[in-house]
Amino acid sequence: MSLHRQFSNEGKELIIAIKGKFDFSLVQEFRQAYSDVGDKQPTVFVDLRETEYIDSSALGMLLNMRKSLGRTVKAIHIINCRPEVRGILDISRFDKLFVIE
Domains of the chain: 2-100 (3.30.750.24)
CA distances, 35 to each of 7, 45, 72 (Å): 13, 14, 11
Average pLDDT value for residue range 35-53: 91
Helices 27-35 and 56-69, packing angle to 10 deg = 20
For residue 75, how many other CB atoms are within 10 A of its CB? 12
Average pLDDT value for residue range 83-96: 95
Q: What's the burial of 9, exposed, middle or buried (CB within 10 Å: 0-12/13-18/19+)?
A: exposed
Per-residue model confidence as pLDDT tens digits over 58-83: 999 999 999 999 889 999 999 999 99
Average pLDDT value for residue range 4-28: 93
Under the banding of pLDDT at 50, 70 and 90, the label for residue 38 is confident
Please check the confidence at residue 1 and state whether its pLDDT lies above 80: no
Do 44 and 72 form a contact (C-beta atoms < 8 A)? no
